[in-house]
Amino acid sequence: MDLVNKSNFKIILGSGSSRRSELLAMTGINFTVNSIPVDESFPVSLRGAEISEHIVKNKSDAFNNLIKKNEIIITADTLVWFENQCLGKPKDKKEARYMLQLFAGKSHDVITSVGFLTTKMFKILTESTTVTYKHLTEKEIDYYVENVNPVDKAGSYGIQDWIGMIGVEYVNGSYTSVLGLPVPQVTNEIIKIINENL
């Protein structure tokens, strides 16, 4: 990513997610992290990608008075969309079990929206990936919930965790988007923004 690192642009990841930070670091792009907590509630009328895009817009708006010339601030939001419901992080282990029971033997969509903010523009890109689980047994669900305790994960699971390894049969779309950041699309957008400003 020499083009990015040798440019006069500073990349800022506006997210407190360690997973997103790890994913972006794997690209070789130099960046700093500055996370500003925002209200992640949304109007009940929104559906699917409308929700993640609404939240990403709010996350980016928090930087409007802070952004400087030649900075690209990247914000992101990931949600699980299942049978017309938005499933966020479970409030406890009981709810985590319930969510995983819903997914067993079925497909759901993992939607990640990413915002790109500069002093000149704001853009959102969204990736939707369909994840299909096998028929999970109660023992498998209990083992995962007790040993991983996925209460900090949207949809009650991390695809990179044990439950994803043994349970996810098919992934249709971007795998890294399910992890929280569609890496190829994000790096392409960063390069595009820099090229447009050379």
Which stretch of DSSP H or E encloses residue 141? helix 138-148
CA distance 136 to 98: 12
- Residue recorded with tokens 């938005």: 86
Confidence (pTM): 0.93
Per-residue pLDDT of the chain (198 residues; tens, 9 = 90+): 677 888 889 999 999 888 999 999 999 999 999 999 998 899 999 999 999 999 999 999 999 999 999 999 999 999 999 999 999 889 999 999 999 999 999 999 999 999 999 999 999 999 999 999 999 999 999 999 999 888 888 899 999 999 999 999 999 999 999 999 999 999 999 999 999 887
pLDDT in tens, 138-161: 999 999 999 988 888 889 999 999
Instruction: Write phi, then psi, for 30 (nearest 5 degrees).
Output: -80, 130
Query: Pick the catalytic residue: 2, 39, 77, 109?
Result: 77
Give every CB contact of residue 18 below 8 A, 6+ residues apart in sequence. none
Phi, psi angles (nearest 5°) of residue 149: 50, 70
Say how many C-beta atoms besides its own lie within 10 A of residue 164's C-beta. Answer: 17
Do 74 and 23 contact (CB within 8 A), yes or no? no
77 part of the active site? yes
Query: pLDDT tens for residues 123-138?
Result: 999 999 999 999 999 9
Q: What single-letter amino acid sits at 104?
A: A
CA distance 103 to 106: 5
* Domains, the chain: 2-196 (3.90.950.10)
